[in-house]
């Protein structure tokens, strides 16, 4: 959602009562039309492919012996965001000897090996114009380029900045996609060998449902913007395109999402897109049966049961494609606790003529523990790496990494204070694999600082491998 600036820091009055709320204090809070909730009655899609019964219990990946944590350092925090706004919407990418992080509304590049800050600038400097935020940074390992996307200056289009080369401190060229519908919210990028994609919710002309922008990659790398806009079957909270790693040919893009609405369901939707460098793309859909999930209602923290927001949940935010596998994750509630607390749900899907669900797993640290902001990637050994935020009546909002099993995980950024912002946690985190070895995961996520009235949110970046 569009960034709304805080006039100064949170006032001390925040610390005097849990009932305090002020909708206009925080980023991504605006008129209700800009913070939509997916309609529970959104139409179901007619899918191409077998429905079938719910598959037998699928095996989770065998746990690794241990997690080794490499570089681990803080990213952009509230005071360094050049925004004065909440939430951060943190995400990061890795390529070469660089790690880049984007938040509302700052861009920072780190030396991968030392953590030294090599570039730190407002997104308005990167884009060359003011931006409404919702940024996302991505490294394209098929061509060695960096992309940064976000709202344009008047929130009716999208910026995409393309790096001049494989070094993100060597500069970017920015393009403005103006014909995308009027208010392109919740945008998420992906790529194939021959195209760059942005899935978004079109509140300008499509009732808040998803549209897909396809950008001709050869043209934009050559300095010319050529793009197409297509409308898939009704899908709320956007369809994140897959980052198609190490692919040698184009022609097919994949998406994994909930099946039309963020209210819940018993299937996830896999979408195949072809003919995408045209305004008449072809979409093919499969609904894969999974364990029932539903929007969560409650998340706790010390000193405040039910005082952590769970909005938004039940939506995928990042999809990776590696060696015929699609991997994605989301936070949503399960029947075991009456659909109350969000848990981390992750999925591995094998593509082919008919996609099949290989794995569905759950990050569940225990009763009363909420798991939010979940993302996942898969290394070349088929191990999964995940990040999530965890909180409970005994734990402040903390950043965790792991492989989804209760025995292999680490609290890499423990929370230290009360979370006063009661209406939104953020839109996304990220987990990406270092293309240098395809074994090292890099995760970016949020945690709460020691003083919830001034140290409002912090971000953290961690690299790790499984042994």
pLDDT digit string, tens, across residues 327-385:
999 999 999 999 999 999 999 999 999 999 999 999 999 999 999 999 999 999 999 99
pLDDT band at 80 (very low <50, low <70, confident <90, very high): confident
Longest dimension (CA), the chain: 59
Distance CA 443, CA 445 (A): 7
The answer on pLDDT for 56 being more than 90 is: no
Contact of 131 with 123, CB cutoff 8 Å: yes
Distance CA 117, CA 96 (A): 15
For strand 319-322 and strand 282-294, is the pairing parallel, antiparallel, or unpaired?
Answer: unpaired
Mean pLDDT of 62-76: 82
Q: Which CATH architecture is the domain 12-30+67-466 placed in? A: 7 Propeller (2.130)
DSSP state of 125: H
Mean pLDDT of 381-405: 94
3-state secondary structure of 78: helix
Question: Could you tell me the two tokens for 213?
Answer: 């922008």
pLDDT band at 452 (very low <50, low <70, confident <90, very high): low
Predicted local confidence at residue 65, as pLDDT: 58
Distance CA 387, CA 391 (A): 14
pLDDT band at 1 (very low <50, low <70, confident <90, very high): low
Question: Could you tell me the two tokens for 80?
Answer: 């360094």
Predicted local confidence at residue 41, as pLDDT: 32
Our CA dihedral for 300, 419, 3, 23, rounded to 10 degrees, sits at 80
The answer on pLDDT for 52 being more than 80 is: no
For strand 395-402 and strand 409-413, is the pairing parallel, antiparallel, or unpaired?
Answer: antiparallel
The answer on pLDDT for 460 being more than 90 is: yes
The answer on pLDDT for 401 being more than 90 is: yes
Distance CA 229, CA 181 (A): 9
> How many Cα atoms sit within 13 Å of 334 on the Cβ side?
20
Give the start-to-end residue ranges of the domains of the chain. 12-30+67-466
Name the burial class of residue 41, with classes exposed (0-12), middle (13-18) and buried (19+) by CB atoms within 10 angstroms of its CB.
exposed
Question: Could you tell me the two tokens for 376?
Answer: 């996942």
Ranges assigned E (strand) in 245-281: 253-258, 264-274
**Per-residue pLDDT tens digits for 299-337:** 999 999 999 999 888 999 999 999 999 999 999 999 999
Distance CA 148, CA 139 (A): 9
Q: Which of 28-42, 76-90, 255-269 has the lowest mean pLDDT?
A: 28-42
Predicted local confidence at residue 16, as pLDDT: 28
Predicted local confidence at residue 287, as pLDDT: 98
Predicted local confidence at residue 405, as pLDDT: 66
> How many Cα atoms sit within 13 Å of 363 on the Cβ side?
34
Token pair 């923290």: residue: 301
Predicted local confidence at residue 2, as pLDDT: 54
Q: Please give the residue that has the higher pLDDT: either 35 or 306.
A: 306
């Amino acid at each position: 959602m569009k960034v709304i600036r805080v006039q100064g820091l949170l006032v001390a009055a925040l610390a005097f009562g849990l009932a305090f709320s002020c909708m206009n204090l925080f980023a991504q809070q605006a008129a209700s039309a800009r913070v939509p909730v997916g309609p529970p009655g959104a139409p179901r899609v007619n899918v191409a492919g077998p429905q079938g019964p719910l598959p037998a219990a699928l095996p989770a990946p065998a746990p690794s012996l241990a997690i080794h944590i490499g570089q681990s350092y803080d990213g952009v925090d509230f005071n360094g965001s050049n925004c004065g706004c909440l939430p951060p919407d943190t995400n990061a990418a890795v390529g070469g000897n660089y790690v880049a992080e984007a938040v509302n509304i700052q861009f920072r590049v780190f030396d991968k090996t030392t953590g030294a800050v090599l570039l730190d600038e407002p997104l308005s400097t990167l884009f060359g114009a003011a931006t409404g935020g919702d940024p996302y940074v991505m490294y394209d390992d098929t061509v060695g380029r960096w992309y940064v996307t976000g709202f344009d200056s008047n929130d009716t289009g999208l910026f995409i900045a393309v790096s001049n080369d494989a070094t993100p401190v060597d500069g970017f060229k920015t393009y403005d996609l103006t014909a995308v519908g009027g208010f392109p919210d919740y945008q998420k990028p992906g790529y194939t060998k021959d195209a760059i994609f942005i899935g978004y919710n079109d509140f300008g002309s499509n009732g808040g449902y998803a549209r897909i922008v396809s950008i001709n990659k050869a043209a934009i790398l050559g300095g010319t913007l050529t793009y197409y806009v297509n409308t898939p079957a009704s899908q709320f909270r956007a369809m994140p395109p897959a980052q198609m790693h190490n692919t040698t040919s184009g022609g097919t893009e994949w998406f994994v999402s909930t099946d039309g609405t963020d209210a819940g369901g018993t299937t996830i939707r896999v979408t195949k897109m072809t003919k995408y460098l045209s305004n008449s793309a072809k979409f093919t859909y499969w609904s894969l049966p999974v364990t029932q999930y539903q929007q969560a209602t409650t998340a706790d923290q010390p000193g405040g049961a039910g005082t952590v927001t769970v909005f938004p949940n039940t939506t995928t935010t990042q999809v990776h494609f590696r060696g015929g596998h699609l991997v994605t994750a989301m936070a949503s509630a399960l029947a075991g606790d009456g659909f109350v607390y969000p848990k981390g749900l992750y999925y591995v899907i094998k593509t082919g003529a008919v996609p099949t669900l290989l794995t569905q797993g759950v990050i569940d640290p225990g009763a009363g523990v909420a798991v939010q902001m979940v993302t996942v990637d898969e290394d070349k050994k088929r191990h999964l790496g995940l990040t999530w935020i965890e909180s409970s009546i005994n734990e402040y909002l903390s950043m965790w990494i792991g492989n989804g099993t209760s025995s292999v995980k680490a609290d890499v950024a423990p929370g230290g204070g009360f979370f006063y912002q009661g209406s939104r946690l953020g839109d996304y985190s990220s987990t990406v694999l270092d293309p240098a070895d395809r074994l090292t995961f890099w995760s970016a996520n949020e945690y709460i600082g020691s003083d919830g009235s001034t140290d409002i949110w912090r971000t953290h970046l961690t690299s790790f491998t499984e042994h």
